[in-house]
Amino acid sequence: MSGLGGDAQGIDAGHVGQIGEMDLRVRALESVLVDKGYVDPAALDDLIDTYETRIGPRNGARVVARAWLDASYRDWLLSEATAAIASLGYTGRQSEHMIAVENTPQRHNLVVCTLCSCYPWAVLGLPPTWYKSAPYRSRAVRDPRGVLAEFGVTLSPDTDIRVWDSTAEIRYLVVPMRPAGSEGLDEDALAALVTRDSMIGTGLAHTPEATDP
C-alpha cells in the first residue's frame, strides 16, 4: 500500500482550512496534556487504535452478519439503512443518513470521501489513516481496480466496481459478500468474519478457514 500513504492536507481549499485548524487544536491540546503529565501518548495511540480497528467496526460487523442471516433485515437495510442500523442500537454523529450497498458477483462497491474524510462513525468507528490520505481519495475514483490490487483484492474482470463518494450528508456501508464455507455459522461467528475494510470495500470478508487457527 505504499502508494496510499501521505498527507491528507493540501488538496481542497474549502475543507482543508477546517481540517488544518482542527488538527492544530488537537495537537496543541495533546501536547499540553502530555507536558502536564495528564495523558500518556502511548495510551492515546492505544485508544485511537481501539476505535479504529476494534470497537468501532464491530458495530458494522453485527449489521452485516444480521443481513447475511435474515433476508427481511437485509431488505430493510438496503432500502432504509439508517433505520435498520438504528434498530440494532447504532446511531450517532456522522451516521445520521446511511446508505447500505451490497456486493454481488456482478458489482463491487468501494467507498471514498473525495473531499475530506466523511465516514460512518457509528458503524465503523474512526477512519483509518489511509482513508483520509490524498492518494486514496483521488485514486479510488480514477483507478479503483488498481487501489483494490494494492489492498490485495483482485476481482473478476467481469465484476463492475462502483465508487461511492461520501459527503457530510450521506455515509455508505458496504455489505460484503457472505464468504463460502460460512453456511451454518451463527451471528457471532459471522460477525467475526467481517473486517473493517470489507465494509469500506477495500477488502473482502474472511473465510472461516482463514479466521480459524
> Catalytic residue numbers?
113, 116-118
Q: By rule CB under 5 A, what string of x and - marks binding of each residue 100-129 to Fe ion?
A: -------------x-xx-x-----------
CB of residue 54 to Fe ion, shortest distance in Å: 23
Q: Which is nearer to Fe ion, 118 or 205 (CB)?
A: 118
Under 8 Å CB-to-CB from 102, ≥6 apart: which residues? 74, 78, 109, 174, 175
CB of residue 157 to Fe ion, shortest distance in Å: 31
- Is 140 a residue that touches Fe ion (CB under 5 A)? no
Residue among 123, 125, 127, 128 nearest 63 (CA): 123
Q: Which is nearer to Fe ion, 76 or 131 (CB)?
A: 131
CB of residue 126 to Fe ion, shortest distance in Å: 13
CB of residue 55 to Fe ion, shortest distance in Å: 22
Where do runs of H (alpha helix) occur along the chain?
13-35, 41-49, 55-69, 71-79, 81-86, 121-124, 129-132, 134-142, 144-150, 187-191, 196-200, 208-211
Identify the three-state secondary structure at position 136: helix
Q: Which is nearer to Fe ion, 8 or 118 (CB)?
A: 118
H/E segment holding residue 164: strand 160-165
Q: Which is nearer to Fe ion, 8 or 100 (CB)?
A: 8
Binding site for Fe ion (CB under 5 A): 113, 115-116, 118
